[in-house]
């Protein structure tokens, strides 16, 4: 167990914001998580349950206690026919789990390759990319209840998953310390190639029927071409969620902007890429102070060097206002701002 006062969070957020917390506690087992919650008091408030910090923007020093999982381990806990149930410690790097699954022939996570962050956060955020979401593979989540120290198992249905949403972000906020996530994968590989430019990227390589490893590598290459390396330029990946609008609003915009990209959700709703709208507002590659919009993917806000969290928030709000004025659509941060 790690327990440090006045701890710098610079190494725990990919935006590269140098902020401190009053107390930092790290647990490496379920038992340590139980010991920690039993010791928490009023002076520890407010709590911040932190993963890899890849979906976090700090605007000031954190006045309370930050809790972080260092629980590791990846193992098969059950098999049923083609199904394989993979239990992973919440402190594992999520992409390491995807790599492990592909290497061992456990399929279903390929499209989530190279998403930054840790296993525990995958269950909180319902991370997603290229037509796949964590909820598609999460079977159940093990957690320690903060109020009681009780170990509970929460099913996929219990977690109330939606687009980048879960009960952990709302009514369960700070209620549980996630310790393990069990993913349900398959020994049968059924590639999902329809989203984004996966097919064209495969075609450029002369690949018609990709293996799981080939699909993973193509997605990694696509992401690396579009997204900046946080070690080079601080960022939290996609800063905004893609808005889902009614059919009427979509038809109105489609008439004004022929060829506007979109993804059909159902008969009544369409998803419009926020990055495209931000680009249409002229923000791609532009800066406001030391914060900017990435020059290859307008969905990503970046730290040009020495930016404060407040500067990134100012840029965020300015971009939101311009998108609202041009398209009549509100876009909201995917990133958690503190």
* Residues labelled catalytic: 164, 238, 334
DSSP 169-184: GTTTTTTEEEEEEEEE
- Give the start-end residues of each E strand in 214-259: 234-238, 244-246
Q: How many CB atoms lie within 10 A of CB 172?
A: 17
- Calpha distance 194→308 (Å, rounded): 38
Find out whether 1 and 36 touch, Cβ atoms under 8 Å.
yes
- Calpha distance 19→56 (Å, rounded): 12
Find out whether 134 and 126 touch, Cβ atoms under 8 Å.
yes
DSSP state of 93: B
DSSP state of 59: -
DSSP three-state, residue 327: helix
- Calpha distance 142→89 (Å, rounded): 10
Find out whether 48 and 42 touch, Cβ atoms under 8 Å.
no
- Calpha distance 225→58 (Å, rounded): 26
DSSP 300-315: EEEE-SS--HHHHHHH
Q: What share of the chain is helix, strand, coil (3-state, %, to 5)?
A: 30, 30, 40
């Amino acid at each position: 167990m790690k327990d440090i006062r006045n701890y710098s969070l610079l190494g725990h957020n990919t935006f590269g914001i140098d902020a401190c917390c009053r107390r930092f506690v790290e647990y490496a087992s379920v038992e340590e998580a139980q010991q920690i919650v039993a010791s928490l008091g009023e002076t520890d408030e407010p709590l911040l349950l932190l993963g890899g910090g890849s979906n976090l923007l700090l605007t000031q020093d954190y006045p309370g206690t930050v809790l972080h999982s260092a629980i590791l381990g990846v193992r098969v806990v059950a098999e049923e026919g083609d199904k394989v149930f993979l239990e992973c410690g919440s402190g594992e790097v999520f992409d390491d789990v995807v790599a492990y699954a592909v290497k061992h022939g456990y399929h279903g996570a390929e499209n989530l390759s190279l998403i930054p962050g840790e296993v525990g956060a995958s269950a909180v955020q319902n991370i997603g990319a290229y037509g796949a979401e964590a909820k598609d593979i999460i079977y159940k989540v093990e957690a320690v209840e903060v109020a009681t120290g009780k170990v509970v198992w929460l099913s996929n249905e219990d977690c109330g998953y939606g687009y980048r949403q879960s009960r952990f972000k709302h009514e369960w906020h700070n209620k549980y310390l996630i310790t393990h996530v069990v993913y349900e994968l398959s020994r049968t590989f059924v590639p999902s190639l329809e989203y984004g430019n996966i097919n064209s990227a495969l075609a450029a390589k002369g690949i018609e029927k990709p293996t799981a490893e080939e699909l993973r590598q193509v997605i990694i290459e696509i992401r690396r071409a579009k997204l900046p390396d946080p070690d080079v330029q601080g960022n939290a990946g996609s800063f905004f969620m893609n808005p889902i609008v009614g059919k009427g609003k979509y038809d109105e915009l489609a008439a004004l902007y022929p060829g506007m990209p979109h993804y059909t959700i159902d008969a009544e709703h369409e998803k419009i890429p926020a990055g495209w709208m931000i680009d249409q507002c002229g923000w791609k590659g532009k800066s406001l102070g030391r914060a900017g919009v990435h020059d290859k993917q307008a969905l990503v806000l970046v730290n040009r060097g020495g930016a404060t969290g407040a500067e990134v928030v100012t840029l965020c709000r300015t971009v939101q206002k311009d998108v609202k004025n041009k398209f009549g659509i509100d876009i909201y941060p995917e990133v958690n701002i503190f």
